[in-house]
Amino acid sequence: MRHVIIIGSGPAGYTAAIYAARANLAPLVIASSVEFGGELMKTTEVENFPGFPEGIMGPDLMTRMQQQAERFGAEIVYDDVVSLELDGPVKAVTLGNGDRHKAHAVIYATGSAYRKLGLPDEERLSGYGVSWCATCDGAFFRQKTVAVIGGGDSAMEEATFLTRFVDKVYLIHRSESFRASAAMLDRATADPKIEFIMNARVEQIFGADLVSGIGIVDTVTGEQRTLDVSGVFVAIGADPRTHLVHGVLELTEQGTIAVEGRSSRTSLPGVFAAGDVVDPTYKQAITAAGSGTVAALDAQHYLETVHDASRTAAAAV
């Protein structure tokens, strides 16, 4: 039996692991088999994580967090959770390989999953021109024209990154206001290879075997037009990854896991949540890391309470 199991290995999961390990809780981290390290594994330069004045590559930052957690005794398993038993004082976590781990507390930090456009040909052309990862696929679009869909930081980053390879990027955004930070937006706006198309919605993706174009509609005038592009990079945000706890943990209206006030306490005792899965607003590496700290400290406090209670009960017998 473990003290605590941490599910997730982004900034929230690993920071929780660092704190829990340093509190001698020997946490087990379920890191995922193919998405370990979380979203930052798909980014390039991270320029806003404090302590790295020259910036740091996303995958390098995550490797460092992992090493820091391991240094203090966190154990990391590269597998996926398939089911959870969270009610009751003993929690159980079952993995893809069939292993079942038990613990007194669970920290849930599964982050979020990329949102899809929801268009008929999107799934069919996924990997054939439709992509969610410019850093993975951008190099295949040398001297091509591509579209990036979205208006947040990740859309700006994808667009700017893609200009290394492509001749032209259309940045398509459904409104006139941007969620992106000023620094990222300014960089994209100043780039001669990027053309902004605002108030536009993507209605269709064309292509037999590979993407050949998209159909967009102006949300103000209703005007429709077709853009010839070989790539469509979707960066329209992400949804909290809560499918394993639907009907188990209370969720908010935004679909994140509900926590009590500024704490990480979920609707079940001994279950704590951290990172993007509880955050509909900020979604930064550093806020996720801070949230992971909160969860580790809350879990530590909970474990002390449970431990004291069982000692009192034992003394009373």
Partner 1 sequence: MSTRDVTDATFEAEVLKNEKTIMVDFWAEWCGPCRAVSPILDAIASEHPDKLEIVKLNVDHNPETAMKYQITSIPAMKVFRGGEVVKTVIGAKPKPALEADLAEFLA
Stretch binding partner 1 (CB under 8 A), from 35-43, 66-74, 179-187, 295-303: 35-43
Considering only residues 253 through 312, tell me which ones interact with partner 1, judged by CB under 8 A.
none
Q: Let me know if 87 is a catalytic residue.
A: no
Task: Based on the residue annotation, tell me whether 308 is a catalytic residue of this protein.
Answer: no
Q: What type of residue sits at position 62?
A: M
From 33-41, 186-194, 216-224, 305-313, span contacting partner 1 (CB under 8 A): 33-41
Task: Please confirm, yes or no, whether 186 is among the known catalytic residues.
Answer: no
Residue from the set 11, 13, 37, 213 that interacts with partner 1 by CB under 8 A: 37
Q: How far is the CB of 119 from partner 1 (least distance, A)?
A: 17
Give CA–CA dist 69/55, Å, rounded: 21
Q: At what angle do helices 153-162 and 182-190 cross, to 10 degrees?
A: 30
Locus of tokens 């994580």: 49
CB of 294 to partner 1, least distance (A): 28
3-class DSSP state for residue 220?
coil
Single-letter residue type at 89: P
H/E stretch holding 66: helix 58-71
- Cα separation, 82 vs 66, in Å, equals 22
Q: Is 183 in the site for partner 1 (CB under 8 A)?
A: no
Within the chain, strands assigned E span 2-7, 28-30, 45-46, 56-57, 75-77, 81-85, 91-95, 100-108, 112-114, 130-131, 145-149, 168-172, 194-197, 200-206, 213-218, 224-227, 231-234, 238-240, 271-273
Q: Is 113 in the site for partner 1 (CB under 8 A)?
A: no
Residue 157 lies near partner 1 (rule: CB under 8 A): no
Region from 11-19, 126-134, 159-167, 278-286 binding partner 1, contact rule CB under 8 A: 126-134
Distance, CA of 2 to chain centre: 26
Does the footprint of partner 1 cover residue 14 (CB under 8 A)? no
Judged by CB under 8 A, the stretch of 22-30, 107-115, 132-140, 177-185 that binds partner 1 is: 132-140
Of the residues 49, 59, 116, 263, which one makes contact with partner 1 according to CB under 8 A: 59
Asked if 128 is part of the footprint of partner 1 (rule: CB under 8 A), the reply reads: yes
**Interface residues with partner 1 (CB under 8 A)?**
32-37, 41-42, 59, 79-80, 96-97, 126-129, 131, 133, 135-137, 139-141, 209-210, 230-231
Please identify every residue annotated as catalytic: 133, 136-137
